[in-house]
Copies of this chain bind each other. A is one copy, B any other.
Amino acid sequence: MKLSMFADASLRAMVMLAALPPGEIRTAREVAEVIEVPVTHLSKAISRLSDFGLVEVARGRYGGAQLTAAGREASVGAVLRRLDPRSDLAECVSAEGNQCPLIADCALRSILAEAREAFYQSLDRHLIVDLPTPRQIHIMFPTIPVCTPVAAAL
């Protein structure tokens, strides 16, 4: 089981943006470099997060991205539900549109859907804004002072 590369990059970008002091912005390229994701993927991720109202993008020479209030207050579960367009965890219907012959009245399909809901509910308890740890903030933004015990030990 794994997250899509797109959901993965989007979540990590949100963690990085959540670590910024209020009002600060970063370009897609800057975020991509820090979290080591190809900038083309990251640009698409930022664009989709902007469509969802989770990220605000200022265009132009001094432009960049920051989380919106909704993005800061969103839970990880809520973000992943938006990012995951698949209706089935298994290949009940493949990308080519082929359908599993057992799809009708399938217990496996319904218990996988139930388990995915348990997965999301577990993530509903955690807000994006609470994710960045002092050690990570120090890695992402060495110039931003941190003074918690964890960061001081670096």
Q: Which residues of A contact B (CB under 8 A)?
A: 1-5, 7-8, 11-12, 15-16, 34-36, 76-77, 80, 84, 86, 89-91, 98, 100-102, 104-108, 111-112, 114-123, 126, 130-133, 135-136, 139-140, 150
Contact = CB atoms under 8 A, between A and B. Distances in A.
A75 B64 CA distance: 48
Nearest to A120: B115
A76 B108 contact: yes
Contacts of A136: 102, 104-106
A123 B115 contact: yes
A39 to B, nearest CB: 15
B90 A111 contact: no
A105 B150 contact: yes
The binding surface of chain A is classed by DSSP as: helix
5 contacts: A1-B3, A3-B90, A36-B101, A115-B120, A118-B122
A1 B101 contact: no
A91 B45 CA distance: 15
A135 B102 CA distance: 9
